[in-house]
A and B are shown apart, each in its own frame.
Chain A
Amino acid sequence: MIVAAVAGAMSAFAFAVLIRVPRRDLLLGALCGLVSGLVYSLAGSFGPHAILQVLVAAVAAGALSEILARLRRTPATVYLMPGLIPLVPGLLAYHAMYALLQGDYVTGAAVALETIYWAAAIGVGVALVLTLARSRGGRPAGKAGGPREE
């Protein structure tokens, strides 16, 4: 669990540099990675179910980046992209490719489908938060609640 949090934060921080997040926001990006790694791992302790774990972690990362975006008046993307890095289904994608290379098409197709589910869980989790944030925040900036960057 501690490993998940630390590794999540480290990978998010380094990835934030790669996508040129400004220096002042790097640590907050790392915080998003820490939270998504921690939530992923915590959710697993209730009974491992990778897709659900990813969904919950993506919702957490999305919510945190929306909050940070409002506080810092900067697009949520700046925090969200680093925050999602620990959740990328890289190993699954590799296993799918490996099985296909060996001519094991049944396993390959099954694992590829799992990879797609996994990726969709990230997307759905984030889209959920995004939609909620929009419906509450409202589009017209400069009205009640003050202007906000998104």
Chain B
Amino acid sequence: MSESPLSALLELAAALLESGAEPYRAEEAIERAGRGFGLGDVQVFVTPTGLFVGCVGPLGHEAGVRRVRRRGTDLGRLAVLNSLSRAAERGDVTPPECLRAIAALAAAPEPYGLGTELLAGGVASAAYAWFIGAPPIAALLAALGGAFTILMRRRRVVYAAERFFALAVSGFAVGLIGIAGSALFGVATGMVVAGGVVVLVPGLALTGVLRDLVAGDFLSAGAEGLEALTVTGALAAGVALSVAAGIALGWSR
């Protein structure tokens, strides 16, 4: 791979998006790093699923495109990349160093193991259910659902369609746990379901959409809004399937 300033900018922005950064953050990072690398006339356009960068470098006018297909949320990585762009702006990091830092970050092990994540999924769901007023049994069932959804998320998901399917399956399973809880223990299905899927809510989409709308980045705002709608829709489709069965059997409350 080339070690030109432009490819460092492209890699930096792509890595930021893959860590769950909002498009505006990736744009700001590129503008900062571009200044630090001594590039002129840096033009950048970032959407949640891809980006374009143009600049005037040592060889004249250059431009590059990167497609981003896999997005997750890794705020630790996001923070490191953000600092990297600031270090580049100060001139502390050269483009090859920047590329090496990004590659090292991508190769770094995940900060929390599977056991920790499953536990965290359970605790987050149970505590959220508790917050919205669920009784202990419902909170416990929500924890079960939360842990399952995290297990589904942990699988390496390559294609967007596969992600949609994984979300729907998670929703379906959580719905099943909800109606089972309703049939066996008489708890409100909604408390269990809301707790179980809360760990998958489309992260920052909401505030990101508003921020982009206000700033006039309509394409990013629309894409982020659609992404949030798709995630919610996939979850809802799964939940609806099992809850509809529960309603038909008279088990759901």
Contacts and interface: CB of A to CB of B under 8 A. Distances in A.
B210 A127 contact: yes
Interface of A: 3-4, 7-8, 10-11, 13-15, 17-23, 37, 73-75, 77-78, 80-81, 84-86, 88, 90-91, 93-95, 97-98, 101-102, 119-120, 122-124, 126-127, 130-131, 141-142, 147, 149
Interface of B: 20, 22, 25, 32, 73-79, 82-83, 86, 89-90, 110-112, 116-117, 119-125, 127-128, 130-132, 150, 189-191, 193-195, 197-199, 201, 203-204, 206-207, 209-211, 214, 232, 236, 239-240, 243-244, 247, 252
Contacts, number: 157
Contact of A3 (B86, B123, B130, B240): B130
Contacts of A73: 83
Contact of B112 (A20, A37, A141): A20
Contact of A78 (B75, B86, B243): B75
A86 B128 contact: yes
B127 A7 contact: yes
B243 to A, nearest CB: 6
B73 A19 contact: yes
A73 B212 CA distance: 23
Q: For A73, A77, A95, A122, which residue has the most chain B Cβ atoms within 10 angstroms?
A: A77
Interface of A is mostly: helix
Contact of A141 (B86, B128, B195, B209): B86
Contacts of B111: 20, 22-23
Contacts of A80: 204, 207
